[in-house]
Every structure is written in C-alpha cells, then in structure tokens.
C-alpha cells in the first residue's frame, strides 16, 4: 500500500485527458505535477485564446462550448493545489526522471508514475506544392482562427478528409471568411451502411451533417470523392488542382489551403519511455500498445487521450480519468470499481462511433505511392520522393531507419512528425512489401528543438567529470 501523498505522478499534457487525469488523482489525495508546453490549459480542441481576447466560448467552441467551459473551470479550480507548469516542454525521459525546458531553463522532474496525455496533430499527405506559403495544416487553420482571430487567407479551400474539414470550413464561413470549397477525398457513399456505428456517437454525427448542409446552403462548394493533384503557384499558392468525384479535372483559385487527413497521435514521449508499439492496420500507423485502461507495456507509464490513439475529445476526458484510476489501483489505492466499469462502457460506445468514422473518412494513405519523384516528402530536410525511392531501390534500403540514414528523410527538426508515415509508405511500395515490414522511425530526444541558450540558463550547470581521452576528438 502506497501513501497517496507521497506518490509522485507526472502528467504530460493539459488537454481533456490530462485535466481529467489530474482531477481524478487529486480527488484520491495524490497531487500530480502537470506539464504543458502551451501557455494555458485546454489542449488543442479547447485551446484558450490569449489574454485580452474577448470572444465568448460559444463563438470559439460552438456546440462544445459547455464542455470547454466545464473543462477550463475544472482545471482552474485545482491548478493552485497541484504543481502546474505551463510553457514547459518535456524534452527527454531518462529512467524515472523527466527532463524539461521552460522559461527558466532546463530542469528535472522525478516521478513514480507517468501519464502521457500528449494529444495529436494533423496527418498530412504530401502533394506537389505543399510547401508553398499559403498551404497550412487543416487543424492549424482552426488554430489561426480560434487562437488568433485570423483566417489563413482571403479565399480559402479546405482539402483532405475527416469531420474536422466541415467543422473548420463552417467556422471560417461563420466568421466571415470566404470559403471557396470543401474538397473531401472520402465519398461518404456508405454513410447509411455505417449509420448504426455513427449513431453510437450520439448527436455528433448530426452536427457533422448539419455543418455540411449549412455550408451548401451558404454557397460553399462541397466536393466528395476528390483526388487532389497539386497546389499551384510560385512563391505562394494560387490554386488547387484536383480530379472531382466524377472524374473531371478542376482548378480552384484560392490564396490559402487548409490541408489535412484526420489526426495522428503525438507518440514521441511514449517512444522515449520505451513502451512497445504495435502496427494498426486501420490507420496504417504504429501506435503505443496499451490495455483497455491505458496501461502501457512499461510499468508505471500510462497513456490517455488522442496521444494514445485518436478517439476524440469526449473519449479523451473519459480515458484520462480511467488511466488515473488504473494508476491509483496499481499503486495499491482503493478506487471505485463501479466508476471504472461505467467509464469502460461509455468508451465502448464511443469506440464503435470512432470505428464508423474511420470507415466513413478513410485516410488515402496509399495515395502517396503515386506522387512524382520531384515532390518534397520531408519538408525539414527537403528530401524528395525520388531520393527515398532511390535509397529503397538502388541503395537497397529495405527499412525506414536505413532510408533515413542514407537520405536524411525524417531526420529534420520536426522529428518526422509530418513525413514518417509517408516515408514508410514509399519504401514499402518501392520494395513491394507490406507496410509493417519496413519498420518505423523511432522518436529521439529532444522531442522538439531545444535551444542551446535555454540549456545554459539552468541554475546549476552540470559538474562534468568526463574520463580523460588521450586520443579522441
């Protein structure tokens, strides 16, 4: 039996999953440390605007305003009673110590248990011209509006797939921006067949249908079953060229594009924590292996929310609470079993909904097989599809880490967040082997760039006692 008061729990991420995990722990007498890179809590979906902005929650979060407000209030009421560190990045993990970098420099946070609630980012499929100014990630387009009160351009196209496409287009149009079109690669033709699963999500699917209908009513073109071909322009985007669902080619003039294919988890810290990953055939991604409570394969390391697998904000709140309860139970504390059962039941319903959504909006991950050799795949290092294929073929690299070593693809500052899955697709296709056979790029520290100036702001510079090396260097 562990004393609740002495158990050191670190939660990374103050989004829906992290907030509910913190709240649950505190309720059971455990004061967690919560670290988040953002200046304010709320995570991505319930991201709070900067001080001095005045839009009400209803404008920012629409139908979800009450959920956002509840989550913000929950954390506001507990943040004085825990160790909360905003503006702080966990850049590395070493055994049971998290290494962080914040406004005051670098620091260490020792822990007995770790909850990773690190959220998600856009999944991207590269196209010719996708590095042009004016082309932004889809979720990023939403951030511009929600967090900055800005539209990414004056004539905006949204392109990709997933429910977010319609929501962001709606929010843009509603805010007075000109939305040229919504271009969805999904055909949505089997919506009726998926209805039982979709209804498991409660009112969510109707909101989605409502957005699509509203957009059409307000003169926004909604195209389904499209194949985007390229972003055109020289020093900025001026059009999207695509093949419509009916098969004709079309050019949509615009000065900005929000581009994204649903979300993918931020799993870099899970990698550094040493948890096992498994290949997920539905999303064609490697995901951290967890049990139904959020326990990873490493003792004391738990995952919750979209950082484990994409299930949405409602599920993230439930999974945060559930992981915290599992953690408490694993450390010998009494937890309400009935609550755990109830959480599992709700999550089961949401996962049926998620599965139906995944089928309704399939990620055209294999589209990348067809891109031209000239297209940049790794935008950090400017490595093209042709260079990756050359490594896979002529240089006989059958594994993604080998391709990375030979080409620098995936070696840049974003740590392969944008290109990792696409490199794997290209290598597997070039060698005609299953995707899971080419391995995966492992996360390496620092999970985001670490300014050297920051490392030198630490209170105590490390006393180094390095062995004398007569012949090295």
Partner 1 sequence: MERLETEVIIVGGGIVGCSTALHLRQRGVPVILLEQGQTGAAASGVNFGGVRRNGRALEELAIAARSLEVWRSMPHLLGSDCEYMVTGHLKLARSEADMVALARHAEAQAPFGFKVEMLSRNALLARFPYFGPKVLGAAWCESDGQANPRLVGPAFARAARAAGAIIREHSRVSTVARDGERFLVVCGDDREHHVEVRGRTLINAAGAWANQIAASFGEQAVMEAWSPQMVVTEPFPYFLKPALGVVGGDVYLRQIPRGNFIFGGGYGDATLASGRATVMPKETLGSCELAVQLIPRVAEATVIRVWSGFEGITQDHLPVFGPSLTTPGLTHAFGFSGHGFALSPGVGSIVAELATTGATDVPLGPLSIGRFAKESAETPGR
Partner 2 sequence: MTESQFHRVAERERPSLTLYLDGQAIEARRGDTVLTALLLARHVIRESEFGDGPRAGFCLMGACQDCWVFLDAGGRIRACTTMAEEGLRLVSKVSVP
Ligand X SMILES: Cc1cc2nc3c(=O)[nH]c(=O)nc-3n(C[C@H](O)[C@H](O)[C@H](O)COP(=O)(O)OP(=O)(O)OC[C@H]3O[C@@H](n4cnc5c(N)ncnc54)[C@H](O)[C@@H]3O)c2cc1C
Q: Which residues bind ligand X (CB under 6 A)?
A: 12-18, 35-38, 43-45, 88-90, 117-121, 139, 142-143, 164, 167, 263, 266, 269, 305-307, 312-313, 316, 447
d(CA 143, CA 47): 8
> Which residue lies nearer to partner 1 by CB, 348 or 434?
434
> Which residue lies nearer to partner 1 by CB, 76 or 396?
396
Check binding of 97 to partner 2 (CB under 8 A): no
Check binding of 247 to partner 2 (CB under 8 A): no
Residue 447 interacts with which of partner 2, partner 1, ligand X, none, CB < 5 to 8 Å by class: ligand X
- Per the CB < 8 A criterion, the answer to whether 429 and 373 are in contact is no
Residue with tokens 């951030």: 143
d(CA 237, CA 232): 6
C-alpha distances in Å from residue 128, one per residue of 2, 56, 154, 170 = 57, 39, 22, 27
Name the CA radius of gyration of the chain, rounded: 23
> Which residue lies nearer to partner 1 by CB, 265 or 443?
443
Q: Is 54 exposed, middle or buried (0-12, 13-18, 19+ CB in 10 A)?
A: exposed
C-alpha distances in Å from residue 123, one per residue of 284, 288, 351, 363 = 12, 17, 20, 9
Residue 316 interacts with which of partner 2, partner 1, ligand X, none, CB < 5 to 8 Å by class: ligand X
User: Maximum Cα–Cα distance for the chain, whole Å?
Assistant: 76
- Per the CB < 8 A criterion, the answer to whether 180 and 155 are in contact is yes
Q: Is 401 exposed, middle or buried (0-12, 13-18, 19+ CB in 10 A)?
A: middle
Residue 306 interacts with which of ligand X, partner 2, partner 1, none, CB < 5 to 8 Å by class: ligand X
Residue 305 interacts with which of ligand X, partner 1, partner 2, none, CB < 5 to 8 Å by class: ligand X
Residue 269 interacts with which of partner 1, ligand X, partner 2, none, CB < 5 to 8 Å by class: ligand X
d(CA 458, CA 407): 35
CB of 106 to partner 1, least distance (A): 6
Residue 204, helix vs strand vs coil: helix
Check binding of 149 to partner 2 (CB under 8 A): yes
Check binding of 251 to partner 2 (CB under 8 A): no
Q: Which of 326, 417, 422, 443 binds partner 2 (CB under 8 A)?
A: 417
Q: Which of 110, 133, 196, 434 binds partner 2 (CB under 8 A)?
A: 133
Check binding of 45 to partner 2 (CB under 8 A): no
CB of 30 to partner 2, least distance (A): 29
Give the strands of the sheet with 249-253, arranged side by side.
Answer: 227-232, 239-243, 249-253
CB of 386 to partner 1, least distance (A): 17
d(CA 214, CA 170): 8
Residue 402 interacts with which of partner 2, partner 1, ligand X, none, CB < 5 to 8 Å by class: partner 1
Residue 51 interacts with which of partner 1, partner 2, ligand X, none, CB < 5 to 8 Å by class: partner 2
CB of 388 to ligand X, least distance (A): 26
CB of 360 to partner 2, least distance (A): 25
Residue 165 interacts with which of partner 2, ligand X, partner 1, none, CB < 5 to 8 Å by class: none
d(CA 144, CA 149): 6
What does the CA dihedral 252, 258, 263, 266 come to, rounded to 10 degrees? 140
> Which residue lies nearer to partner 1 by CB, 48 or 384?
384
d(CA 139, CA 159): 11
> Which residue lies nearer to ligand X by CB, 222 or 383?
222
Site string for partner 2, 256-275 (x = CB under 8 A): x---------x---------
- Per the CB < 8 A criterion, the answer to whether 367 and 227 are in contact is yes
- Per the CB < 8 A criterion, the answer to whether 316 and 17 are in contact is yes
Residue 456 interacts with which of partner 1, partner 2, ligand X, none, CB < 5 to 8 Å by class: partner 1
Residue 84, helix vs strand vs coil: strand
d(CA 363, CA 160): 9
Choices 203-211, 215-223, 241-249, 412-420 (CB under 8 A): range interacting with partner 2: 412-420
Residue 207 interacts with which of partner 2, partner 1, ligand X, none, CB < 5 to 8 Å by class: none
> Which residue lies nearer to ligand X by CB, 358 or 399?
358
CB of 310 to ligand X, least distance (A): 7
Backbone angles phi, psi at 364, to 5 degrees: -75, 60
274 conformational bin, left if phi > 0, alpha if psi -120 to 50, beta if neither: left
Q: Tell me the two tokens of residue 313.
A: 């904000």
CB of 99 to partner 1, least distance (A): 4
Q: Which residues bind partner 2 (CB under 8 A)?
A: 37, 44, 49-55, 59, 121-122, 131-137, 139-141, 143-145, 147-154, 175-177, 235-236, 238, 255-256, 266, 376, 379-382, 412-414, 417-418, 448-449, 451, 453
């Amino acid at each position: 039996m562990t004393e609740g008061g002495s158990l050191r729990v670190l939660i990374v991420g103050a989004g829906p999953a992290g907030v509910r995990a913190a709240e649950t722990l505190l309720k059971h007498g455990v004061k967690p440390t919560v670290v988040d890179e953002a200046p304010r809590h709320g995570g991505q979906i319930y991201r709070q605007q900067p001080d001095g902005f005045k839009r009400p929650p209803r404008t920012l979060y629409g139908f979800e305003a009450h959920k956002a407000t509840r989550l913000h209030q929950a954390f506001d009421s507990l943040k004085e009673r825990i160790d909360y560190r905003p503006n702080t990045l966990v850049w590395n993990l070493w055994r049971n110590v998290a290494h962080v970098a914040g406004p005051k420099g670098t620091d260490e946070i020792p822990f007995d248990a770790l909850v990773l609630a690190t959220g998600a980012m856009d999944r991207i499929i590269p196209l010719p011209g996708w590095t042009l100014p004016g082309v932004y990630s889809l979720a990023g387009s939403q951030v511009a509006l929600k967090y900055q009160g800005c539209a990414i351009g004056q004539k905006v196209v949204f392109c990709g797939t997933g429910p977010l496409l319609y929501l962001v287009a709606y929010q843009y149009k509603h805010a007075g921006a000109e939305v040229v079109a919504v271009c969805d690669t999904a055909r949505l033709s089997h919506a009726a067949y998926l209805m039982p699963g979709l209804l498991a999500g409660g009112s969510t699917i109707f909101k989605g249908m409502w957005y699509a209908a509203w957009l059409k009513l307000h003169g926004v073109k909604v195209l389904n079953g499209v194949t985007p071909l390229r972003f055109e322009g020289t020093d900025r985007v001026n059009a999207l060229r695509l093949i419509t669902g009916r098969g004709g080619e079309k050019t949509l003039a615009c000065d900005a594009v929000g581009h994204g294919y649903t979300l993918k988890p931020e799993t870099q810290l899970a990698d550094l924590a040493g948890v096992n990953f498994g290949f997920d055939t539905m999303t064609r991604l490697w995901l951290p292996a967890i049990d139904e409570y959020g326990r990873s394969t490493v003792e004391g390391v738990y995952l919750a929310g979209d950082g484990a697998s994409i299930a949405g904000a409602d599920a993230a709140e439930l999974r945060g609470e559930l992981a915290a309860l599992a953690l408490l139970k694993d450390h010998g504390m009494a937890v309400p079993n009935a609550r755990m059962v109830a959480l599992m039941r709700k999550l089961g319903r949401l996962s049926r909904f998620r599965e139906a959504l995944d089928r309704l909006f399939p990620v055209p991950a294999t589209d990348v097989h067809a891109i031209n050799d000239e297209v940049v795949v790794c935008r950090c290092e400017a490595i093209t599809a042709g260079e990756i294929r050359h490594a896979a073929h002529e240089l006989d690299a059958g594994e993604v880490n080998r391709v990375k070593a030979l080409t620098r693809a995936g070696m840049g500052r974003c740590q392969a967040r944008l290109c990792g899955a696409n490199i794997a697709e290209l290598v597997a296709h070039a060698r005609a082997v299953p995707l899971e056979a080419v391995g995966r790029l492992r996360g390496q520290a620092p999970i985001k760039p670490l300014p050297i100036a920051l490392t030198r702001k630490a209170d105590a510079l490390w006393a180094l006692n390095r062995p004398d090396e007569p012949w090295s260097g």
